[in-house]
Structure 1
Amino acid sequence: MKNQWFLLSLLATFLSFISCSKDDPFPTDEEDDMSFVHSVTVGDNAYVSLFKDLNVEQTSTQNSLVFAKESFLFTYGGNIYVLESMNARLYKYRVENGLLIQEKETMILPSGSLPAFLTFDSEEKAYISCVGLGKLYIINPTTMQKTGEIDLSEYAIGKESGDKNPEPGASVIRDGILYVGLAQDKSQFNPNTGAYVLLIDTKTDKSIKMISDNRATMATAYEYSGDPFIDEKGDLYIYCVGGFGYFANCTEGFLRIKKGETDFDQSYYFPIETISIPDIKGNKANYIYSKTYTGNGKLYGYFNVPGYVSNPPDYVNDKSMQTFEIDVYNKTVKKMNFDGTTGWSCSQCKAGDYMVFGMASTQGTGYYLYNYKEDKYEPLKIKTEGNPFKIQYLK
């Protein structure tokens, strides 16, 4: 199998599957009312725990659940799901008395399946993208039982030469259709050029068609990085990561599938690598890491800035990830007033009118706040024990 896992590990901070709410993310009167689930990494482990609100001064790993480092958080129906990718396991938890209590048995997937994304259709149905197998597993998230699978091998670009894995990644459901991004790798760090998305009927679980666009490469990362997302108009946006800056012929950028359509909108393409950006070293960014949609065409996310990358790259210590505001309607970007962070510490979520950024910057390691309605910054609001890895708002 191609070595996707190194890249998946490198990009594991594309995390932050987000719950959107207008509820106040600050103090609550109820002692056990937890507002956030998050994970931090220490060594080769991820420590998952809850914390109450944005007035917590520091988090601890003392009452955390311990998983392999590359573990992803998802929420649905009041439950929290932990997808342990390297160990191919899925766990389900409820919140009780301020703690995470496991429900049902652990779901064990095939070794090497590298499950990296979970899309919920209903209380009885969800899809797991198995990057290592080239399959989607269909499960019942209530009972935690597998109910079926979808083999995607016929959609692999390299099938004629024996590569039958199109590397399914992040996905989203719109109007009864599951849109699945396919990485379509041909070798390590080297995807086939073009963006490929598979459409599946969620009623029948049958493939409808695969669409492609040669303006950008690699539709979504292997895991959830804030896209695909659907805006208030019903338009679907998908970011193509373009080979993560390794290949000149693998271009990045946002593509769009308009409401009521099932093909890429040929009138829309928004790359960021061609923009001259002031206030960053070299005035260029070459791809977007994770991102979060907040409404009205605005996203907040991390750009990789090559000017801050050492030679050879040090993905643990290089603070090349810079926070930006992105406007997909007007095709503009604006650097935010935060210092850079490392690729292993760039989590984020939306909480009310706040963006919460988990970073390891020169100002310290923990959560930084930005009120995007009032344009107000709060540097290092919460210190963390360990590097911020994933975070979700539970309200």
Structure 2
Amino acid sequence: MKKTTFQYMALSAMFIGTFGLASCDKNDEPTPSPVETKQHFVCFNTVDQKIDYLGTFADLSQKTVDNKKAFEFAFGAYPFAQGNTVLVADGNGGDKVHKFTRDANGYLVRGESVTFGQGSAPGEITFSNDGKAYVVLSQRGKISILDVQTMKQTAEIDLSQYAYKDNNPDPGCAVLSKSKDKLYVALQQKQTRYTAYPGIGAEVAIINLKTHQVEKVIKDDRVGFVGLFRHTIAFTDELGDMYFYSLGMEGNNPLKDGFVRIKNGTDEWDKDYHFQLSKTPATGIDKPHGWILYYYYAGNGIVYACVNIPSLTMHNDPAQSSILDFNYQPVRIDVRNKTIEKINLPLTTSMGCFTYGKWKDEIVFGMTCKEGTGYYTYNPATGACSPKPVVTTVGVPSSLLVFE
């Protein structure tokens, strides 16, 4: 089987005033200022896997999004939001977190930045309800506690003692408990940038946010490591159950992939639940499938993602495959009932399956496809799908935040 990879994965308004000659005609009236269009989307577009452009656009009727008024970042930056605050983490490309505020029209106004230690690779920002943000410093094995108002670090949580064979357990995605008093952080225990030491399995550190102490680390060997940095997420559903996902990418054959969960009211893995995607038939897909990368939890147990179809991989070189092979199919996943269903949107690449959102009644997929690059839509109520992008982009959509 040929291998694919997931590793290679627009803002203030400008006005042009036109001034005519002075006139005494009583019908001459001042030209009204143009009305700014409310911006509902904050997005990143990636160009040549080198530059990420942070910008905004209004809605799905805009048709085209370019990067002419965008903020420029190194490849790998991601946005996180609470209210009208948007924090951008450098990720593997740097050591800063940058603050932006959405103005009355939804445009981004740049604020302060905070710099962590060199090579910290900050990312995976989780907001609390008291003005704090918990920032995973993936290359330092620490969690920074950030005052969002002042953009100052107030404390750190050191996870180094939980590392395997080095002093960094490689913290990945993090999620708050339903009660907001505990932070659950995936420990990836990496051997290389994208793989863990064999046999590590799912490890999650449970941190008491009152004491900033790790209460315990829970482990599950049914899957590979969970919470791959900047590639998968964890979420708490309406029932208070917490889900983590593993791509199963530890050199295991067959894959030890799938969703595992921690049930509400417990701090242990649910031994009665393991949803292995690679072993679950997908309605509408007649070829074997594997893992998903980034995904979107839409509520009521439903996840939207793109699933890898290995037989559609034509290039052995991962860099080529990530941009040339259309081998990921959009799907609807029910994590409670353990079902996978094809969505009739076109195939995309591994670089083009990281961007999702919900706008009104539609699920938005940011993808690069043979049919065009940009935002495609799916209506869960009617099943209607856009055969080509309803909004095209300059560069590949790499992340999306939606504001009603």
Given the two structures, how large is their TM-score scaled by the length of structure 2?
A: 0.85
- Can you list the C-alpha shifts for 1:256-312, whole angstroms capped at 9, x where unaligned? 11111110110111001112446547x222211111111221111011221122241
Indicate which of 367, 380, 397 corresponds to 1:388.
Answer: 397
Q: Partner of 1:186 in structure 2? A: 191
After the TM superposition, which residues 160-199 of structure 1 pair with which residues of structure 2 at under 5 Å, given as runs? 163-174=166-177, 175=179, 176-192=181-197, 193=199, 194-199=201-206
| Partners of 2:281 and 2:106 in 1: CA distance | 47
Compute the RMSD of aligned alpha carbons: 2.0
| Partners of 2:302 and 2:131 in 1: CA distance | 32
| Partners of 1:392 and 1:177 in 2: CA distance | 25
SS at match of 1:242: coil
Q: Partner of 2:299 in structure 1? A: 295
The percentage of counterpart residues that share the same residue type is 33
Q: Partner of 1:82 in structure 2? A: 88
SS at match of 1:315: helix
| Partners of 2:130 and 2:310 in 1: CA distance | 43
Contact 2:6–2:350 (CA under 8 A) maintained in structure 1: no
- Can you list the C-alpha shifts for 1:178-204, whole angstroms capped at 9, x where unaligned? 011111123454313210000001111
SS at match of 1:113: coil
- Can you list the C-alpha shifts for 1:119-168, whole angstroms capped at 9, x where unaligned? 1113431111111111111111111001111111111132xxxx121110
SS at match of 1:92: strand
In structure 2, the gaps of 5 or more residues are 10-34
Q: Partner of 2:380 in structure 1? A: 372
| Partners of 2:273 and 2:306 in 1: CA distance | 22
Contact 2:241–2:264 (CA under 8 A) maintained in structure 1: yes
In structure 1, the gaps of 5 or more residues are 1-6, 13-29
1:269 aligns with 2:274: yes
Pick the structure with more strand per residue: 1
1:353 aligns with 2:323: no
Q: Partner of 2:29 in structure 1? A: none
Give the Å deviation of 1:99: 3.0
The answer to which structure, 1 or 2, has the higher relative contact order (CA under 8 A, 6+ apart) is 1
The number of residues matched between the two structures is 364
1:213 aligns with 2:223: no
Q: Which amino acid aligns with 2:55?
A: S
Indicate which of 64, 70, 73 corresponds to 2:76.
Answer: 70
| Partners of 1:234 and 1:255 in 2: CA distance | 14
- Can you list the C-alpha shifts for 1:229-264, whole angstroms capped at 9, x where unaligned? 1111111111112117x4326511111111111101
Q: Partner of 1:248 in structure 2? A: 253
Cα 1:9–1:132, aligned 2, differ >3 Å: closer, same or farther? Answer: farther
SS at match of 2:311: helix
SS at match of 2:128: strand
Give the Å deviation of 1:31: 3.2
Q: Which amino acid aligns with 1:357?
A: F
Given the two structures, how large is their TM-score scaled by the length of structure 1?
A: 0.87
1:110 aligns with 2:117: yes
Q: Partner of 1:238 in structure 2? A: 244
Q: Which amino acid aligns with 2:151?
A: M
- Can you list the C-alpha shifts for 1:46-87, whole angstroms capped at 9, x where unaligned? 111110111111111111111111100111131111111212
SS at match of 1:243: coil
| Partners of 1:383 and 1:216 in 2: CA distance | 38
Cα 1:93–1:36, aligned 2, differ >3 Å: closer, same or farther? Answer: same
Contact 1:8–1:222 (CA under 8 A) maintained in structure 2: no
Q: Partner of 2:314 in structure 1? A: 310
The worse-fitting range, judged by mean Cα deviation, of 208-217 and 378-387 is 378-387
